[in-house]
Amino acid sequence: DVKVTQSSRYLVKRTGEKVFLECVQDMDHENMFWYRQDPGLGLRLIYFSYDVKMKEKGDIPEGYSVSREKKERFSLILESASTNQTSMYLCASSKRQISYEQYFGPGTRLTVT
């Protein structure tokens, strides 16, 4: 079974804190993705990565950065958390040539107070 794991299911942080969300996949997938999901807005792509050390901006990259030092691990960083970054964050991975079939992690519900 493909497995995508995320470091936390729930996280509470204060405004201004630096936040790290980690994602690990065990299927040797080339592509990895970070989304956020908000009620009424659906899933929106923040960043994605085709390969180690490669990253591309998605639809809403502002306020976020990412790091991919190893193929299986993709980190999302909130440099200075703000209340409008309170959301559900979902990580996904896929094979490069089957990019439409993404495997998602369980999500991290982040609350910034």
Answer for which of 19, 24, 31, 74 binds other proteins (CB under 8 A) is: 31
Q: Is residue 46 part of the contact set for other proteins (CB under 8 A)?
A: no
| The length of the chain, given as a count of residues | 113
Touching other proteins, residues 49-78 (CB under 8 A): 50, 58
Q: Is residue 33 part of the contact set for other proteins (CB under 8 A)?
A: yes
With the C-alpha atoms ordered 23, 76, 44, 107, is the resulting torsion angle positive or negative?
A: positive
Q: Could you write out the DSSP letters of every residue in 45-73? A: EEEEESSTT--EE-S--TT-EEEEEETTE
**Shortest distance, position 53 Cβ to other proteins, whole Å:** 16
Please tell me the distance from the alpha carbon of residue 99 to that of residue 58, in angstroms, as a whole number: 15
Whose tokens are 């950065």? That residue is 65
Total of chain residues touching other proteins, rule CB under 8 A? 29
**Shortest distance, position 7 Cβ to other proteins, whole Å:** 15
**CB-side neighbour CA atoms (13 Å) of 110:** 31
Answer for which of 26, 106, 111, 113 binds other proteins (CB under 8 A) is: 106
Residues that bind other proteins in the complex, under the rule CB under 8 A: 4, 31, 33, 35, 40-45, 48, 50, 58, 90-92, 94, 96-107
